[in-house]
Amino acid sequence: MAHGRITGWASNLPEQVLTNDELASMVDTSDEWITARTGIKTRHIGGKVTEMSTRAAADAMAMAGVTADQIDLLILATTTPDQQMPASASVIQDNLGLTCGAFDLNAACSGFVYGLVTAMQFIEGGLERVLLIGSDALSPVVNWEDRGTCIIFGDGAGAIVLERSADQPSLLGWDLMSNGDAADLLYCDHGDKIVMLGKEVFRKAVLAMESASLNAMERAGVNAEDITLVIPHQANVRIIETSLKRLGIPFEKAAMVLEHTGNTSAASIPLALVDALNQNRVNTGDLILMVGFGAGMSSAAAVVRWDPPQN
Ligand code: COA
């Protein structure tokens, strides 16, 4: 149980949009196939993690009304840092003029939820404000000749400001898991492109989403019917539909952006969260279930009680 209120949020997508029809001119596929098998219509490409993250974070800080010197820690969830070193978090920290610790966290597409749980521990440990970013630029590591992978990935960033709160706990329950024995189902070697066994990833993803969600809900002491909004990792609409059906949560409760973003890895949950918040889909006391899975294979879920910002 941790006390950390989300007081600012924002996202950023690169300008360049790649449509399914454009993909169909690059590989043997079609808009109909991609739409039916994934739910994706367009994705943004050409992004750089440090640039997208800096823009999203600056907007989230402005919304929260916090200045650079008030941020105590920056956590960047990413699996595609701009450079091997330094950490992209350090570059973003400098861009934003922060004077605090900063580090990258790599748990692939589960990274934002791993980051949320980590940030909450730091707040419980005494910090006042943590800036959490989820960002990935997958377009440089996509094999644009492989129709089995190039259709699903995109670039983006989402950021939130977390502030210590004296009110009721906001992180009610969580679950972090990794199954390294399935690491060869989805990987990218240094200097190489993404390799994915899509069908097997799909099967494991459904089970991981279910198991992580059930564990987080059990630890939070809540049931599926108590969940007001689900923020699932945006990889494939069929994975989300199947997982939610197994959990007994209506699909209408899911925040969805993948139609226009594709799978943006660590950015996908914050992109969907920001979209839901901007659409006023969240009210005081609502229970939000965030759940993701990804390379590793990692999975993560968190049940968050929504307390509106008070500034
Ligand atoms: N366009 C047209 N046909 C395609 C295609 C494409 N882009 N990609 C694959 N196909 C073909 C295959 O070659 C196969 O043809 P065959 O039956 O003649 O051999 C057929 O479609 C079915 O392929 P399959 O791989 O079984 O498709 P699928 O329904 O599993 O869909 C994915 C493929 C990648 C969309 C799906 O497996 C998926 O989304 N997996 C999870 C990926 C994921 O979530 N990754 C990120 C994890 S964080």
Pick the last residue of a domain from 151, 166, 181. 166
Show the ligand 1 pocket: residues with CB < 6 angstroms.
Answer: 29, 33-34, 37-38, 109, 147-148, 151-152, 186, 196, 198-199, 201-202, 205, 235-236, 239, 263, 294
> What whole-number distance in Å separates Cα of residue 206 and Cα of residue 242?
7
How far, rounded to the nearest angstrom, does the alpha carbon of residue 205 sit from its chain's CA centroid?
15
- For 95, residues 6+ apart whose C-beta sits below 8 A from its C-beta are 50, 54
291 within some domain: yes
20 within some domain: yes
Looking at the structure, tell me whether residues 184 and 279 fall in a common domain: yes
pLDDT in single tens digits along all 311 residues of the chain: 678 999 999 999 999 999 999 999 999 999 999 999 999 999 999 999 999 999 999 999 999 999 999 999 999 999 999 999 999 999 999 999 999 999 999 999 999 999 999 999 999 999 999 999 999 999 999 999 999 999 999 999 999 999 999 888 899 999 999 999 999 999 999 999 999 999 999 999 999 999 999 999 999 999 999 999 999 999 999 999 999 999 999 999 999 999 999 999 999 999 999 999 999 999 999 999 999 999 999 999 999 999 877 65
310 within some domain: no
Q: Over the range 203-233, which residues count as b (16 or more CB within 10 Å of their CB) and which as e?
A: ebbbbbbbbbbebbbebbebebeebbbbbbb
311 within some domain: no
Looking at the structure, tell me whether residues 110 and 131 fall in a common domain: yes
Q: Is residue 109 among the annotated active site residues?
A: yes
Looking at the structure, tell me whether residues 17 and 152 fall in a common domain: yes
Looking at the structure, tell me whether residues 51 and 121 fall in a common domain: yes
Pick the last residue of a domain from 139, 166, 193. 166
Copy the structure tokens of residue 165: 């709160």
Beta-bridge partner residues of 102: 74
CATH of residue 16: 3.40.47.10
Pick the last residue of a domain from 166, 190, 217. 166
Which is nearest to 206 in space by CA: 176, 231, 237, 252? 237
Looking at the structure, tell me whether residues 154 and 9 fall in a common domain: yes
Looking at the structure, tell me whether residues 95 and 201 fall in a common domain: no
Beta-bridge partner residues of 158: 11, 134
80 within some domain: yes
- Asked if 131 contacts 163 with a C-beta cutoff of 8 angstroms, the reply is no
pLDDT at 310: 66
Question: For residue 92, what are the domain limits?
Answer: 3-166
Separation of CA 287 and ligand 1 centre (Å): 34
Which is nearest to 270 in space by CA: 292, 245, 246? 292
Looking at the structure, tell me whether residues 197 and 55 fall in a common domain: no
Looking at the structure, tell me whether residues 228 and 134 fall in a common domain: no
Looking at the structure, tell me whether residues 252 and 135 fall in a common domain: no
Specify the number of domains making up the chain: 2
Helices 31-38 and 237-247 sit at what angle, rounded to 10 degrees?
20
pLDDT at 298: 98
